[in-house]
Structure formats: structure tokens, C-alpha cells
């Protein structure tokens, strides 16, 4: 029996979400009195792999095959499902990111394993196996009973505390089958934005809405983001107007994020916007309208015009950084 | 070429949800039902593809798993422009149950492209599309922001961490779509609404199927503490609170 954690790597590197997943899987394994096994697909250096051990994986498996060049959801499912069976995994843990969303449903069918998607805490009980997840875009939560013998969970990003454990871990390479003829997805082009903090990975996000009045006024938002090491985001009207790129749209139909700190600047806080950001640990709102719904979701607020408040805020931060 | 769009029927996204029966059921009083926003965008994109004669698309079908109460939503999809509709007459139990019913109903229909929204705004599962693909044995691409057809080949743009990837996928395939797939949802015109009344809406009975999960109960989120206001003339105070009270920067 085991808990199998699928840990994606990005060109052989892991990031915070990887360690979050392993921390979660290790705690779950502890609850189940079993081992946490981390699985990654494709070459990763030993030093990098050892990090997974630090967060509680007792065994680290690296699935390798020279044919693996593209993320093909069918073949990846075959590789992960094969290892899950070999390792007698009772629970599989994946991230609820793009990759996890592509794989978990296929694995659920392949392994006849009930799926709890987007969980943000450990199961409330193991028998019955009860998980808790956000529904109605954060306006409610649901308690879900997973009835199958094998279970799959996808973990919301930035929802679980990292925890290091001093346990020893072993690393093993596993040669896996890869059906080249069965690869139905071929990459034609890759467009990457280098050197930018990803919105979904960011601890702090500075987001602007229609209250910013025009795209020329974004300067202080970008400045604030640079000072705080934050990512920039925006509300839907702003991306619809083309003031900012679509990738920055946070909200129900855009990106759903859960940073430690979210600045909503000139954003009124409609239900659809809150659906994308309500899991943030702290929300700061700056808005001219004291009755704006964003203040009901925020811990800290400033009633005022962003155009006047932001330069002062930037100045105060610069002063602090200067010290 | 034939396209299938799977649609879910959900409360309008501005609904303040409430629950009844010991928090076991959604209180449906006063709820406006709509096509799940992502499915509506999928349908819009499917119709755009069909509008271009070079794509040679014969039909766009919508499929839904649900009881007769969802028929106004299905008629709306027909009014927007779908050619025909299929309703599997069953109360959804969980994502696996819904995907299985869809797979069973369409497995002999040979759709070239199946579109599913990345999630439904009610259960936020991001699950049915991938399950359907696996059940049908089709490749699937998730987090899709663009679907194009070039010389009969499907070119799909998917979001990856830090960028985008354009992939060519062998049909038949399932594309699980998110924002960007279409600019704005298409709206039904009066002519479409009239025509929708006579378009075929086939109802099939479900197959025997177990669910993998049960939704036991709902909970309401805990209310947040009241917002602490900072003087707009002195935003430095905010920095101080974030640093020393919230300890977040």
C-alpha cells in the first residue's frame, strides 16, 4: 500500500507547488500509516530529487524513456497508472494545475478511482474517505465521500503548508514503456514568457480593475509588483478592453489563484471576480466606493482614488526598502 | 466533420447559493439557470468553425445529462445555433456518472471534435471532459484557449506554465476549453429562437451506472473578519500592518 504523488518537473526543476504536493502526500501517508512515493517523469538531477525527500517522500521514482518528449495525456496516464498499480497506491495525489487537470480525470477512469478535485486540506476521515472542496466558485464548500478502493486527489495550489521531515529517501529510475505510435499530440510551437513571475505561482499579486481608468495608469501597479516581488493581474473588464493581456485576468472565468496577499485596486469585487481570488490569505482593497463588495472580502482597505493612493504607497515601500 | 459540445446547466453565476434539507440540497427557489459559461464559449467557437465553409462541418450537436427541467437551457443552445441536441434523461450523480452516460450515448456517433468546458461553475470539478476522453479512448487536450482547423488538421493552443503550446492532435479528440476560446458568447437572435422550437432534441434513457463519489453535504464559507481601514493620506500605515500584523511582507 502507498500514497503516490505525481510531481511534475519543469525542464528538470521543481518548484514550490511540487514541495507543497509532497508535503501533502507525506502527511496523508502518515495518516494512513503507509509510505509516500513521489513520481516524476523525465530526467531530473539527483540533487533536485533529494529535495522531494526532504518534504517527506520516502521513495522517489523517476520514470524514464527516451521517447518522452511531449506531454501526451494518454501516454502519461498509462505511465502513471502502471506505476500506481505496481506500487499498490491507494491514493494518488496530483496538483490541480493545468497538468493535473489534464491527467487526473483520465487516471480516475483508468484506475476506477474516485476523484476529489481541488482539495485544500487533508481528508476529514479515511473510512469513510471524506474530502472537502470548494463548490459554486467559492460561495460554498462540499463534503464528498469517495467510495472507490483507490482514490485520486488534486490539491489546489498554495493551499497547504510546506513541511520538511528529516526522513531518509531512496531514488530509483524506472524504465517505462512509451508507445510512440500512440502519441496523438504533437507540439507545433511553444510560446514562453521568460523571467516573469507566474500568476499562479506568485505569493503576492497586484491586480487592477476599471477603477484604474486607463491602461496608461498601470505604472504604479507594475512598480508595486516589482517592489514586492509580485505578479500583476487584472479584472475581466480590463482584459476584455485589451488594457492588459488575457493571461492576467483573475476571476471565475479567468485564473483562479490563492496567493498569500492579493491587492485589488480599483476592483469593485463582483461575485465573479471574488470567485477567482477569495482563497487568497489576505486581501487589500483600494477603491473610491466605500460600499464596494470588495471591502467585505478584504482584511485591509483604503477608501480613495488609486491614482492618488498608489504613488504614496510606492513611496512608502521604497523608503522601507531603502532602510 | 461533426462537432459535439457537452453542456451543463448551472445557476446563474451571480446567484447567492443557499442550501436546504440539512445542507444536503441546493435551494432552487428563484434561481435563474444558464448554460455553464465555459460550455457557452465552446458552443460559440464550434459555431464559428462551422460558419467557415472551408472547415466542412456538417453539424454541431449539444449533449446534456439531466432531467427535463434543463430543456429551456438546451433550447437556448439550439437558439444560439446548434443544429440538434441530445439529452440523457438522468439526474447527475457525479462526474464519472455524467461522463459515462455521455460516452455511452455518443460512442457510435463518430464526432470528430468533442468540446467540453474546463469546469462547471457549480461543482468546479474540471473532470468530465478528461473522463469522457478516456472512456471514448480519444486523446484530450486540457486548458485549451484556441481551436483551429487547418487543412483538416486540428491545431489546438493549450496553456502551459508560463506560456502556451500549439499542438496538432489526431482526431477524433476532446478539447477541454477555457477562457480565450471565443471572445464573447454568441447570443440567440429572434430567428434562432423561433427555429430552436422545431430543431431535433432527442431524449435517451440512461444506462445502469455506479458513481464513484457522493456529495454528502454542503457548508457555507465562514464569514471574514471586518475590513480594517487605513487613512488614504497615509498608506504607509498599510505597509506597517502587512509587515507587523499580518506578517505577510
Determine the structural domain holding residue A250 and report its residue range: 204-322
Is B107 touching A (CB cutoff 8 A)? no
Shared domain check, A143 and A112: yes
Q: Are A141 and B216 in contact (CB under 8 A)?
A: no
Residue A32 domain-assigned? Answer: yes
What are the pLDDT tens digits along chain B (249 aa)?
Answer: 999 999 999 999 889 999 999 999 999 999 999 999 999 999 999 999 999 999 999 999 999 999 999 999 999 999 999 999 999 999 999 999 999 999 999 999 999 999 999 999 999 999 999 999 999 999 999 999 999 999 989 999 999 988 899 999 999 999 999 988 998 899 999 999 999 999 999 999 999 999 999 999 999 988 888 999 999 999 999 999 999 999 988
Contacts of B127 in chain A (CB under 8 A): 104-105, 108, 115, 117
- Asked whether residue A164 falls in the same domain as residue A33, the answer is yes
Boundary (domain end) residue, out of A147, A182, A217: A182
Same domain, A100 and A175: yes
Give the span between the Cα atoms of B247 and A179, in whole angstroms. 50
- Residue A199 located in a structural domain: no
Predicted local distance difference test score (pLDDT) of residue A192: 87
What torsion, rounded to 10 degrees, do the Cα atoms A212, A217, A219, A223 define?
-20
- A158 plus A64 within the same structural domain: yes
What is the widest separation between alpha-carbon atoms in chain B? 68
Q: Are residues A250 and A161 in the same domain?
A: no
| Residues B94-130: tens digit of each pLDDT | 999 999 999 999 999 999 999 999 999 999 999 999 9
Give Cβ neighbours of residue A46 (< 8 Å, ≥ 6 apart).
A171
Q: What would the DSSP string read from start to end of A279-321?
A: T-SEEEEEES-TT-THHHH-SEEEES-HHHHHHHHHHHHHHHH
DSSP letter (8 states) at residue B16:
-
Domain assignment present for A310: yes
Rounded to whole angstroms, the Cα distance separating B140 from B121 reads 21
Which one of A151, A182, A213 terminates a domain? Answer: A182
Q: Which residue has the cell 435563474?
A: B32
Contact A104 B127 (CB under 8 A): yes
Q: How far apart are CA A73 and CA A191, in angstroms?
A: 20
A190 vs B165: CB contact, 8 Å cut-off?
Answer: yes
Domain boundary among A118, A147, A182: A182
For residues A27 and A100, membership in a common domain is answered with yes
Output the pLDDT for position A69.
86
What chain B residue is nearest to A297 in terms of C-alpha separation? B224
Structural domains present in chain B: 2-219 (3.40.50.620)
Residue A80 domain-assigned (yes or no): yes
Does residue B230 belong to the interface with chain A, where contact is any CB pair within 8 Å?
A: yes
Count of domains for chain A:
2
The answer to whether A68 and A178 have CB atoms below 8 angstroms apart is: yes
Phi and psi torsions of A29, nearest 5° = -60, -40
Q: Do A115 and B95 touch (CB under 8 A)?
A: yes
Of A300, A265, A285, nearest to B229 by C-alpha is A300
For residue A7, tell me if it sits in a domain. Answer: yes
pLDDT for position A296: 94
Residues A42, A168 within the same domain: yes
- The stretches of A116-260 forming alpha helices (DSSP H) are 219-228, 236-240
Q: B220 to chain A: which residues are within 8 Å by CB?
A: 140-141
Q: What local confidence, expressed as pLDDT, does residue B136 receive?
A: 98
- A311 contact B CB<8A: no
Which residue do the cell numbers 502513471 mark? A80
Output the domain CATH number for residue A266: 3.40.50.1220
Asked whether residue A52 falls in the same domain as residue A123, the answer is yes
CA distance A12 to chain B (A): 14
Which alpha helices (DSSP H) does chain A contain, by range?
16-31, 46-54, 73-86, 98-110, 219-228, 236-240, 271-277, 294-297, 306-322
Nearest to B224 among A10, A185, A297 (CB): A297
Assigned domain for A107 exists: yes
DSSP A96: S
Q: Which of A152, A137, A173 is nearest to A77 (CA)?
A: A152
- Across the interface, whether the CB atoms of A134 and B134 are under 8 A apart is answered no
A323 touches chain B (CB under 8 A): no
Which residue bears the cell 440539512?
A: B22
On whether both A131 and A42 belong to a single domain, the answer is yes
Can you give the CATH number for the domain in which A44 is found? 3.40.50.620
pLDDT in tens, chain A (323 residues): 999 999 999 999 999 999 999 999 999 999 999 999 999 999 999 999 999 999 999 999 999 999 998 899 999 999 999 999 999 999 999 999 999 999 999 999 999 999 999 999 999 999 999 999 999 988 999 999 999 999 999 999 999 999 998 778 999 999 999 988 889 999 999 998 877 888 999 999 999 999 999 999 999 999 999 999 999 999 999 999 999 998 899 998 899 999 999 999 999 999 999 999 999 999 999 999 999 999 999 999 999 999 999 999 999 999 888 86
Is residue A193 in a domain? no
Give the Å distances, CA to CA, from B128 to A10, A59, B195.
27, 32, 30
Q: Would A54 be classed as within a structural domain?
A: yes
| Distance, CA of B7 to CA of B65 (rounded, Å) | 8
- DSSP label at B53? G
Amino acid at each position: 500500500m502507498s500514497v503516490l504523488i505525481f510531481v511534475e518537473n519543469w525542464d528538470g526543476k521543481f518548484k514550490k507547488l511540487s514541495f507543497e504536493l509532497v508535503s501533502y502526500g507525506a502527511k496523508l501517508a502518515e495518516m494512513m500509516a503507509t509510505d509516500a512515493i513521489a513520481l516524476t517523469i523525465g530526467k531530473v538531477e539527483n540533487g533536485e530529487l533529494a529535495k522531494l525527500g526532504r518534504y517527506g517522500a520516502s521513495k522517489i521514482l523517476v520514470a524514464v524513456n527516451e521517447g518522452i518528449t511531449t506531454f501526451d495525456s494518454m501516454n502519461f496516464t498509462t505511465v502513471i497508472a502502471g506505476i500506481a498499480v505496481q506500487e499498490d497506491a491507494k491514493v494518488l495525489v496530483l496538483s490541480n494545475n493545468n497538468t493535473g487537470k489534464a491527467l487526473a480525470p483520465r487516471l480516475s477512469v483508468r484506475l476506477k478511482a474516485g476523484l476529489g478535485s481541488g482539495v485544500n486540506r487533508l481528508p476529514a476521515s479515511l473510512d469513510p474517505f471524506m474530502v472537502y472542496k470548494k463548490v459554486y466558485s467559492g460561495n460554498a464548500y462540499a463534503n464528498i465521500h469517495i467510495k472507490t478502493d483507490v482514490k485520486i486527489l488534486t490539491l489546489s495550489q498554495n493551499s497547504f503548508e510546506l513541511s520538511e521531515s528529516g526522513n531518509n529517501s531512496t531514488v530509483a529510475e524506472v524504465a517505462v514503456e512509451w508507445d510512440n505510435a500512440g502519441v496523438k499530440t504533437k507540439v507545433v510551437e511553444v510560446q514562453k514568457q521568460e523571467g516573469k513571475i507566474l500568476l499562479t505561482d506568485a505569493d503576492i499579486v497586484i491586480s487592477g480593475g476599471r477603477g484604474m481608468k486607463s491602461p496608461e495608469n498601470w505604472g504604479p501597479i507594475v512598480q508595486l509588483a516589482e517592489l514586492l516581488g509580485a505578479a500583476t493581474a487584472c479584472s475581466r473588464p480590463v482584459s476584455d478592453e485589451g488594457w492588459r493581456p488575457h493571461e492576467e485576468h483573475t476571476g471565475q472565468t479567468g485564473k483562479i489563484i490563492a496567493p498569500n496577499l492579493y491587492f485589488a485596486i480599483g476592483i469593485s469585487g463582483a461575485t465573479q471576480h471574488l470567485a477567482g481570488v477569495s482563497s487568497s490569505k489576505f486581501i487589500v482593497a483600494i477603491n473610491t466606493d466605500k460600499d464596494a463588495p470588495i471591502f467585505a472580502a478584504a482584511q485591509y482597505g483604503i477608501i480613495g482614488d488609486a491614482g492618488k493612493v498608489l504613488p504614496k504607497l510606492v513611496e512608502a515601500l521604497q523608503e522601507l526598502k531603502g532602510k | 466533420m461533426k462537432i459535439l459540445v457537452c453542456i451543463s446547466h448551472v445557476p446563474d453565476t451571480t446567484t447567492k447559493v443557499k442550501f436546504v434539507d440539512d445542507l444536503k440540497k441546493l435551494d432552487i427557489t428563484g434561481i435563474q439557470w444558464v448554460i455553464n459559461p465555459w460550455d457557452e464559449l465552446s458552443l460559440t467557437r464550434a459555431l464559428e468553425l462551422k460558419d467557415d465553409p472551408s472547415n466542412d462541418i456538417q453539424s454541431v450537436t449539444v449533449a446534456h445529462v439531466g432531467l427535463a427541467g434543463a430543456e429551456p437551457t438546451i433550447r437556448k443552445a439550439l437558439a444560439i445555433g446548434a443544429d440538434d441536441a441530445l439529452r440523457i434523461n438522468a439526474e447527475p450523480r457525479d462526474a464519472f456518472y455524467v461522463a459515462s452516460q455521455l460516452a455511452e450515448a455518443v460512442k457510435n456517433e463518430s464526432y470528430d471534435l468533442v468540446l467540453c468546458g474546463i469546469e462547471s461553475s457549480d461543482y468546479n470539478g474540471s473532470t468530465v471532459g478528461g473522463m469522457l476522453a478516456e472512456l471514448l479512448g480519444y486523446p484530450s487536450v486540457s486548458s485549451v484557449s484556441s481551436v483551429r482547423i487547418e487543412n483538416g488538421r486540428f491545431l489546438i493552443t493549450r496553456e502551459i506554465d508560463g506560456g502556451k503550446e500549439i499542438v496538432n492532435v489526431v482526431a477524433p479528440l476532446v478539447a477541454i476549453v477555457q477562457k480565450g476560446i471565443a471572445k464573447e458568447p454568441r447570443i440567440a437572435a429572434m430567428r434562432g429562437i423561433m427555429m430552436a422550437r422545431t430543431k431535433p432534441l432527442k431524449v435517451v434513457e440512461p444506462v445502469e451506472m455506479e458513481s464513484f463519489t457522493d456529495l454528502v453535504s454542503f457548508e457555507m464559507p465562514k464569514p471574514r473578519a471586518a475590513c480594517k481601514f487605513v487613512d488614504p493620506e497615509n498608506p504607509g500605515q498599510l505597509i506597517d500592518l502587512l509587515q507587523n500584523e499580518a506578517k505577510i511582507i
